[in-house]
Amino acid sequence: MTAAPMNKFELARQFGKALSTFKIDLALLHLQKVVRKKNYIRAVIYHDTPKNFSTSLEKHFAFYQKHFSPVSKQDLNRFFQTGHWNKPKPGLMITFDDGLKSNFEIALPLLEKFGFVGWFFIPTGLVDAPGQMSWKEIQKLDQNHEIGCHTQSHLRMQEGLSKEILQKEIGESKKILENKLSHPVDLFCWVGGELQTYTRSAHNMIQKTGYHYAFMTNSKAIGPKTNPYFLDRTYVEPFWDIKEVTFMLSGMIDLLYSKKRRQIIYQLGF
């Protein structure tokens, strides 16, 4: 049977591995730091972080510690307010989507071991379900890490959703988090990441409801002039080796998403 052809993303990963043979990926990572004068933040996305991948995940975090500085929401606020990143290494937001229990059990101890702030995006209607975090665990995370909304039912924000559904998924979920955590929540994370899941009606609701930041999945460095409702993140799997992670954060993969970013900007009316 003929193997299925690799998509552009997989081809890019394989290209990244080839570059690592000659350490070109590290050179590109350092070049990015020089060009941007270390005045930028990157964000990575994880989903499930199962125990059987904890060893490779620990290597990821050790790599992050060597090349990046942790980012709290206070740091992010200051970066946008002043236009200056005031730490010796570029910032890195390590984000986790879906509120999975493995993030609490496996990723959290590693975050704390390596001194990083985790950014956890929670679908509020799934809390306490099998394989998901409990409210008690989320409240514990909230003591030293950042919590944001990932809708109520993990619903993709496609065209045709009624105002009532948008209010429930974007607005009501915000209120639930704020009630459980006893403080305002102004971080939102879109679900899915496909082009059709970014809609102007949802974007307008995100702004209207009082969120200050919205996270996407289109891989690009965050600079002082980045729109705070267009914070892109770079996809990473916990089982990838360091060669792949280095390539993903070198800036090369960003080129693959440039057309999609332009389309989303047009769709959302930025």
pLDDT per residue rounded down to tens, the chain (270 residues): 333 344 666 776 677 667 677 688 889 899 999 999 999 999 999 999 999 999 999 999 999 999 999 999 999 999 999 999 999 999 999 999 999 999 999 999 999 999 999 999 999 999 999 999 999 999 999 999 999 999 999 999 999 999 999 999 999 999 999 999 999 999 999 999 999 999 999 999 999 999 999 999 999 999 999 999 999 999 999 999 998 999 999 998 999 999 999 999 999 988
- Minimal CA–CA distance to 41: which of 79, 5, 11, 8? 79
Domain count, the chain: 1
Report yes or no on 2 lying in a domain.
no
> CA-CA distance, 88 to 107, in Å (whole number)?
25
Ranges of beta strands (E only) in the chain are: 41-46, 69-70, 91-97, 118-122, 146-149, 187-189, 213-215, 234-235
- Residues 253, 25 contacting (CB under 8 angstroms): no
Q: Does residue 120 contact residue 87 with C-beta atoms inside 8 Å?
A: no
Among 148, 137, 141, which residue's Cα sits nearest to residue 177?
148
Rounded CA separation 91/106 (Å): 22
- Assign residue 180 the CATH number of its domain: 3.20.20.370
Flag whether 4 is in a domain.
Answer: no
Chain centroid, CA 252 distance in Å? 18
Say if 232 falls within a structural domain: yes
Within a domain: 25 = yes
Residue 65 lies in a domain: yes
The CA–CA distances, whole Å, from 255 to 65, 130, 251 equal: 25, 38, 8
Strand partners, 188: 149, 214
Sequence-separated contacts (24+) of 217-220 with Cβ below 8 Å: 217/45, 217/190, 217/193, 218/193, 218/257, 218/260, 218/261, 218/264, 219/248, 219/253, 219/254, 219/256, 219/257, 220/254, 220/257, 220/261
Answer whether residue 3 is part of any domain.
no
Determine the angle formed by the axes of helices 54-67 and 242-249, rounding to 10 degrees: 40
Residue 192 domain boundaries: 9-268
Contact present, 247 and 25 (Cβ < 8 Å): yes
